[in-house]
Amino acid sequence: MTETNTDKFLEGFRQWWLNKGHSRRSADSYCSGIRRVNREFFLPIVNKDLFDGLVDAVAKGCAENFLTALVGTIGEKSRNTTDPTEKKRLQDNVSHLKKFIEYVVALQDDTVAAIDHSETEQLDDSALDSDFEFFDHDTLAGIFSLRIKTQDRMSAGKNVFFPIRILGSLFSTADRYHLDMFVRKGILASDGNPLYLKRWYDSWVKSIVGRVVFHTTKGDYRLSEIEGLRIMRSTGSVWIVDKEHSRTIPLLSEGEDGLQPMKAKSLKQIHLDHTERMEDLLIRLEPVLTVMRQITDNIKASVKGQTVTVKDKRRNEHKIELDSFRPGTLTLVSGWYCDNVDWDFIAPLLSLVRVELDYIAAATRLTAMSSTDNLKKH
């Protein structure tokens, strides 16, 4: 029996909800709620199945906007109804949909960077088009942005976290659901208007990505200065195309013996190398990261003694202690913390931490490097 898009998304959502420690009964209830949202709201409005539409939305990185509009539609209907039973049912639908949005955003962050949004181009008449991949500037910027947004780090002594998944999720949630609270608390932009943290965050990531350096045989180029990147899969040769002259220029990677021709047969094999290790940067900047330290301490206190059960690829269950803070556990910490965060505590800190994120951005130097060279370096 062929698995439908509905089956894929709902089974993924079910497992995600179970991994957060909820019961199977709760998971089934939430999945049923999303089916009702699709049947009662999405299909009649769009004349298209929600889950089929999500396939393209996830690939394009716009799934959050795709779904958030539904929250407003259902919420408005809930506010306008006077029937208590119907109001409760609609409010439940909103709750189910908000959790489904969290799952889809997490899914999108984990998968879009691995999707090859590519087209083939011919470098010379003797080469086969199918042997080449071309990534234009916007595609590279989108993929590199997602890599940055999912690279949680912590200082060597674990005194300061760089919990970028948590911050990204909270910035997004603040804009979607807590704008009124920010206004009531007087947490506003410098011009007195509402503070849109997600918009600021996206701009912050974009500024870092635009400065990614590519070493070439014609000197260094920033991502903002190139049209795109070509990869020849059969040989692993890589070129950038510069914006000013549309020249195709061989890309170099810094290895143990200095700069050498870049070898990568896919975009996954081109890493973004930190000139200064993020762990070392956090230690160096720790004296000025006072807000980040407060957030770190709150994360530690919140997850102390908490565990989640996850399943491996063979569907075997494993209990993970969230306060172990071992490599890889910050992703699980992110989901748990964002579900249980105290918004009265975190709201003012989200505004203040922007200054410290700017310090980190100013100190961040990223260079394109082959995965082979990058792994040897670290």
Q: Where are the domains of the chain?
A: 5-114, 129-377
Other CB atoms within a 10 A radius of the CB of residue 162 amount to 23
What is the per-residue pLDDT across 310-368, written as a single tens digit (0 to 9) for each? 776 677 777 888 888 876 667 778 888 888 899 999 999 999 999 999 999 999 999 99
Torsion sign, CA atoms 46, 51, 55, 57: positive
Higher pLDDT, 245 or 368: 368
Instruction: Look at residues 237, 216, 215, 228 and name the one whose alpha carbon lies nearest to residue 127.
Output: 237
Q: How far is the C-alpha of 123 from the C-alpha of 118, rounded, in Å?
A: 15
- pTM greater than the 0.85 cutoff: no
Mean confidence (pLDDT) of the chain: 85
Q: Where does the pLDDT of residue 106 fall: very low under 50, low under 70, confident under 90, or very high at 90 and above?
A: confident
Instruction: Judge whether residue 117 has pLDDT over 80.
Output: no
Give pLDDT, residue 327.
60
pLDDT cut 90: percent of the chain above it: 47
**What pLDDT sits at residue 2?**
58
Task: For residue 66, name the pLDDT band (cuts at 50, 70, 90).
Answer: low
Q: Indicate whether 265 pLDDT > 70.
A: yes
226 phi/psi in degrees, rounded to 5: -120, 150
Cα distance between residue 216 and residue 229, in whole Å = 12
In this predicted model, what pLDDT tens digit does every residue of 207-220 receive, in sequence order?
A: 999 999 999 999 99
**What is the average per-residue pLDDT within 173-188?**
92
Residue 94 burial (CB count, 10 A): 19
User: Above 80 in pLDDT, residue 126?
Assistant: no
Identify the residue whose tokens are 């181009």.
121
pLDDT of residue 357: 95
Residue 122: is its pLDDT beyond 70? Answer: no
